[in-house]
Amino acid sequence: MVSIFLSHAFRRSLPLLPRSDPAMPAPQCATCHKARAALRRPRSGRALCGACFCAAFEAEVLHTVVAGRLLPSGAVVAVGASGGKDSTVLAHVLQVLAPRLGISLRLVAVDEGIGGYRDAALAAVRRQAARWELPLTVVAYADLFGGWTMDAVARSTAGSGRSRACCTFCGVLRRRALEEGARLVGATHIVTGHNADDMAETVLMNFLRGDAARLARGGGLGSPGEGGALPRCRPLQLASQKEVVLYAHFRRLDYFSEECVYAPEAFRGHARHLLKLLEAARPSAVLDLVHSAERLALAPAARPPAPGACSRCGALASRALCQACALLDGLNRGRPRLAIGKGRRGLDEAGPPRDGEPERAPAPDAVPAF
């Protein structure tokens, strides 16, 4: 379904104030003192009208970008556009802020080749590009990765249409595809729409897996572009999922809200469920987790070795092959599970580990949808 869509359950959880309840009229907006408040901000509890909330949300994203020095003036920014709420809000907010930041935007969408899902999501991205008059480039897994689509990967990994491993492959390949697409459009920077809830889920997953290397990399608002990769950042990383949805609601943004057919299999779903329980008991749990990852310091013995370059594509790699090349190698050899297995039967099959490198395979669901 393509629309401004909120499920009944999620709508009930949003801090919207009743529009016309004579018994309990909404308070005045705490900012403009003119309009009736339409929501209560989840963190501050301030009652605001829709216009003042959207202005505050945009100002906070601007502060995140400026204070973090994420996007310098003159940057050509590739927005990873999936058609979903996060990337839709990110593209819209950055378009509003672009004149003040002195940046120009390009939409880059990735077609993973997921039947019954991605076509409708891409249709939403095309409508956004047309409405906002932004250039759009679509890069497809099938073109970039020797004919492999996610549906083909799913068949190969499980012999059926679904597999828990799908998101492992997809996250690694999408990161590569977005990099290729951004280079294609001459971008100097990449932005993705991860919000605070996404980041907290990732931190939780890394803790649950004991993945010290990812915990070490997990903090901050992005990566500066090591090993020749383009700098990446997440301007919505401090915004809660509820506020992202509220912004889309009040700005009447058109986005695609269905879940990927492979998402129910993903380990991320367990972290999401756990996080909801934690948040119910402690409302600041999401941001606390994000900030914990920023402040985390690993003991010297737990620090991963400095990465080198992939012997096949030159990308940053902690083994002889980068994750994307290792996964594709496993697929092409008809042994996809070896590339995601644990321990010595894992990436070692795709290439020997670097000297002194600990045993480690790519983490499932390492990268949420942008």
- Applying CB under 5 A, the residues found at the interface with Zn ion are 310, 312-313, 315, 322, 325
Query: From ligand SF4, Zn ion, none, which one binds at residue 171 (CB under 5 to 8 Å depending on kind)?
Result: ligand SF4
Q: What's the closest the beta carbon of residue 12 comes to ligand SF4, in angstroms?
A: 25
- Would you say 42 or 304 has its CB closer to Zn ion? 304
**Helix, strand or coil for residue 140?**
strand
150 binds, among Zn ion, ligand SF4, none (CB under 5 to 8 A by kind): ligand SF4
| Pair type for strands 76-80 and 136-140 | unpaired
Alpha helices of the chain — where are they, by DSSP H? Answer: 8-13, 50-67, 85-101, 118-132, 141-144, 150-158, 166-184, 196-209, 212-217, 241-250, 268-281, 285-295, 323-332, 336-340
Does 238 sit near ligand SF4 (CB under 6 A)?
A: no
Q: Tell me the site size for ligand SF4, rule CB under 6 A.
A: 11
Region near ligand SF4 per CB under 6 A, out of 207-215, 242-250, 258-266, 350-358:
258-266
State the Cα–Cα distance between residues 82 and 257, nearest whole angstrom.
Answer: 10
239 touches ligand SF4 (CB under 6 A): no
Are 91 and 250 in contact, with CB atoms under 8 Å apart?
A: no
Structure tokens that stand for 144 in this block: 């970039």
Write out the two tokens for 51.
């216009």
Binding flag, residue 262, ligand SF4 (CB under 6 A): yes
Binding mask 73-112 for ligand SF4 (x = CB under 6 A): ---------------------------------------x
Residue 177 contact, options ligand SF4, Zn ion, none, Cβ 5-8 Å cut-off depending on partner type: none
Q: How far is the CB of 269 from ligand SF4 (least distance, A)?
A: 10
Copy the structure tokens of residue 33: 């003192």
> Quick one: which of 54, 65, 221, 260 contacts ligand SF4 (CB under 6 A)?
260
DSSP per-residue string spanning 68-120: TT-S-TT-EEEEE--SSHHHHHHHHHHHHHHHHHT-EEEEEEEE---TTTHHH
Of the candidates 29, 81, 109, 150, which one interacts with ligand SF4 according to CB under 6 A? 150
Amino acid residing at 199: M
Please state at what angle helix 166-184 crosses helix 323-332, rounded to 10 degrees.
Answer: 120
**Nearest approach, Cβ of residue 164 and ligand SF4 (Å):** 10
Identify whether the C-beta of residue 290 lies closer than 8 Å to the C-beta of residue 278.
no
Closest CB 157 distance from ligand SF4, rounded Å: 11
Does 167 sit near ligand SF4 (CB under 6 A)?
yes
Element (H, E) at 309: strand 308-309
Q: Which stretch binds ligand SF4 (CB under 6 A): 134-142, 262-270, 295-303, 344-352?
A: 262-270
Distance (Å, whole) CA 147 – CA 177: 13
Q: What is the DSSP string of 261-279?
A: TTGGG-THHHHHHHHHHHH
Residue closer to Zn ion by CB (options 182, 310) is: 310
Binding residues for ATP: 80-82, 86, 110, 193, 198
Closer Cβ to ligand SF4, 1 or 299, answer by number: 1
Instruction: Tell me the per-residue interface mask from 170 to 209 with ligand SF4, x by CB under 6 A, - otherwise.
Output: xx--------------------------------------
The answer to whether the CB of 85 falls within 8 A of the CB of 50 is: no
Residue 258 has a CB neighbour count (10 Å cut-off) of 15
Using the minimum distance from each CB to ligand SF4, give the nearer residue, 101 or 361. Answer: 361
Q: Which does 112 bind (CB under 5 to 8 A by kind): ligand SF4, Zn ion, none?
A: ligand SF4
Closest separation between CB of residue 37 and ligand SF4, Å? Answer: 36
Q: Among the candidate windows 59-67, 165-173, 290-298, 305-313, which touches ligand SF4 by CB under 6 A? A: 165-173
Tell me the pairing of strands 189-191 and 222-223. unpaired
Which spans of this chain sit near ligand SF4 (rule: CB under 6 A)? 112, 150, 166-167, 170-171, 260, 262-263, 266, 369
